[in-house]
Structure 1
Amino acid sequence: MELRHIRYFLAVAREGNFTRAAARIGIGQPPLSQQIRDLETEIGTALFHRVPHGAELTEAGAAFHDVVAQFPDLAERAIRAARRAGRGETGTIRVGFTASAAFSPSVPGVFRDFRRAFPAVEMTLEESNSAQLVTRLKEEQLDAVFLRQDAIADDGIRLHVISSGPMVVVLPAGHPAAKHDKVSLSQLRDDALILTPRDVGPTHYDKVVSACRNAGFEPQMGQIAPQLGSVINFVAAELGFSLVPKPMTQLQANGVVYREIDGEVPIAELSLAYRSNDISIALRNFVSRTLAAHRSFSEPDED
């Protein structure tokens, strides 16, 4: 039994006449009659009474009609659903991001643009640190992640650096160096450096420590902060200073100031990472729209 048999049966049932049904569906009356006979043979019982002026459903035909009446509509719905899925217009995508990535003005814009373009795709968002994001990506618990990790030692992960920009110094508001528009890192050699643990954000940690060494001193490691937001709070408590990506200046906290770096400025990069073997069309759409947005999006002095 094929879907066309159902369509032919429903046409005859609706018209009550083989000739009119044949004209409606665009085939000859003899071939239509043969198709109905083939269907009746397969089912094993008559579906129509042939009467002088047309055809009437038998009891078996009426029972069959009750079940198959929705088949053509269901088939059309199934075709539309398959086509939408094939274009990546349905499905799910799980995206992770670091706290600092959330402050990059383009990242929320990417989420907003994708939701508008693909409203039927269920997108879930998760904030975490770089190390956890990479782990969850490798374990297929996330599909794509935004993170400040410019080197991931895994051939199975594809990485695109989508923006870059300077880091800035964050100081207690009462620090003597806060009086200047720009601060040389060498001025802070006697202050404690507040960072997140290296194992949760190795790229950021290494760049900040290297910046201090390039400025001529070995940093005095101070309080360890669980995340970059906590770094700002610890600086506000006058526990030391730190370097953060410039978008973090949007996080305004009492007792801190942000200053540009006088001298060699470390660069923070924001990357999009995803598994290279992931064939999800929804993911492909997300990646292509993200990369296109960042090619056209200018972030002056942005990270």
Structure 2
Amino acid sequence: MELRHLRYFLAVAEERQFTRAAARLHMQQPPLSQQIQELEQELGFALFLRQPRGVELTAPGEAFAEHARGALRMLEQGVTHARRVAQGRVGRVRIALTSSAAFHPLAPAAIRNFRERYPDIAIELSEINAAEIIEMMLQGRVDVAILRKPIGTPAELRFELLAQERMLLVLPLGHALVGKRAISMDALVDEPFIFVRRPGAPGMYADFIRACEARGYTPRVVDEVPRMVTAINLVAAGGGITLVPASMQRYQQESVRYCRIVGDEAFRAPLHLVTRSTTESPAAARFRTTVLTFRNGKGVERR
């Protein structure tokens, strides 16, 4: 039994006549009669009572028609759903963010915009460090990501700039440098720095470290932590100082002070959208297009 048999049968059942059903199906009447006879032979019972001026459904024919209509209706629904999946309007997108990326207002705003535009796409959101994100994307466990500045850009992944902002020093309350409009690099020679571990945020501090080395010293790193919020918490506890993107200055404002560095235009924290170059799901492709369009509407932010 094939789907065409169901369509032929229902056309005859609704028209109550082979000639009209054949015209509706754009075929000749004899082949249609033959197809119905073959269907009846396969089912093992008569579907129609043949009469001089048409046909009537038998009792089993009535029962079969109900289920045939349901089967075709489910098929149509399945086709419609699959088409929406192919168009990226239904499905699932797995999004990963680094903690510092999550603080940038563009990230939650873009995700919220996507959710409002495509409510039938489920969003799975996770917050992990950049190294884990890259690994999970290469393994196919994450569809898209928003992160800062990875040290490596595998060919399998596509990195697109969403925004840039300056980096700020984070100092504990009472620090001798608090209150200065901008702090010089030379004033940081003996300061104890807390950085996010290099595998977790490998590219974030590269420009700053190179700038220190150009001045004849290497930053004294006293601690390395998995996330920037942890670094800020340690600064608040008096464990040292750190450097973070400007959008994070909303965090721990009562316990730390955020300060600019002289010449801070050299220290920029980019925000990237990361997607797979190939094997991209329709929902992930839709997310990428939506976020880039949203970014263009907002402009690339430079704080």
- Give TM-score, length-normalised by structure 2: 0.88
Name the CA distance, whole Å, in 2 between partners of 1:205 and 1:199: 12
8 Å Cα contact 1:98-1:127 kept in structure 2: yes
> Per-residue displacement from partner, 1:138-178 (whole Å, max 9, x unpaired)?
11111111111254242222211222121011111211211
**1:218-248 Cα deviation digits (max 9, x unpaired):** 2111132231001111111122111111111
Relative to structure 2, which stretch is displaced further, 27-36 or 214-223? Answer: 27-36
For 1:291, give the aligned amino acid: L
Question: Is 2:292 aligned against 1:271?
Answer: no
**2:168·2:258 contact (CA, 8 Å) conserved in 1?**
yes
Q: 1:298 maps to which residue?
A: 299
Which AA in structure 1 matches 2:17?
Answer: F
Find the counterpart in structure 2 of residue 152 from structure 1. 152
| Change in 2 beyond 3 A, CA 1:235/1:28 | closer
Whole-angstrom CA distance in 1 between matches of 2:136 and 2:27:
61
Q: Identity across aligned pairs (percent)?
A: 35
The secondary structure found in structure 1 opposite 2:258 is strand
Q: CA deviation at 1:24?
A: 9.7
Q: CA RMSD in A?
A: 2.5
CA distance in 1, matches of 2:192, 2:61: 86
- SS for the counterpart of 2:21 is helix
Q: Could you tell me how far apart the structure 1 residues matched to 2:302 and 2:8 are?
A: 67
User: Per-residue CA shift, 1:183-215, capped at 9, x if unaligned?
Assistant: 113212222011111122111142332243345
Match of 1:252? 252
Give the distance between the partners of 1:71 and 1:96, measured in 2 at CA. Answer: 40
Q: Which amino acid aligns with 2:141?
A: Q
Give the structure 1 partner of residue 17 of structure 2. Answer: 18
Structure 1 partner of 2:283:
282
Instruction: Measure, in 2, the Cα distance between the counterparts of 1:136 and 1:26.
Output: 52
What is the distance in 1 between the residues matched to 2:292 and 2:135?
A: 23
Larger displacement relative to structure 2 (242-251 or 147-156):
147-156
Q: Residue 79 of structure 2 aligns to which amino acid in structure 1?
A: I
Alignment of structure 1 residues 81-230 onto 2, 5 Å = 81-230=81-230
* Residues in 1 aligned to 2:301 and 2:286: alpha-carbon distance in whole angstroms: 26
CA-CA distance at 1:28 after TM superposition = 8.2
Gaps of 5+ in 2: none
State how far apart, in whole Å, the 2-side matches of 1:27 and 1:208 are: 75
Tell whether the 8 Å contact from 1:171 to 1:240 is kept in structure 2 after alignment.
yes
Task: Tell me if structure 2 keeps the 8 A contact 1:148–1:271.
Answer: yes
Q: Which amino acid aligns with 2:291?
A: T
Taking the aligned partners of 2:103 and 2:95, their CA distance within structure 1 comes to 16
CA drift of 1:99 comes to 0.4
State the SS of the aligned residue for 1:239: coil
Q: Which runs of 5+ in 1 are unaligned?
A: none
What is the distance in 1 between the residues matched to 2:46 and 2:226?
Answer: 76
User: Which one-letter code corresponds to 1:278 in the other structure?
Assistant: T
**AA partner of residue 297 (structure 1):** K
Conservation of the 8 A alpha-carbon contact between 2:129 and 2:226: no
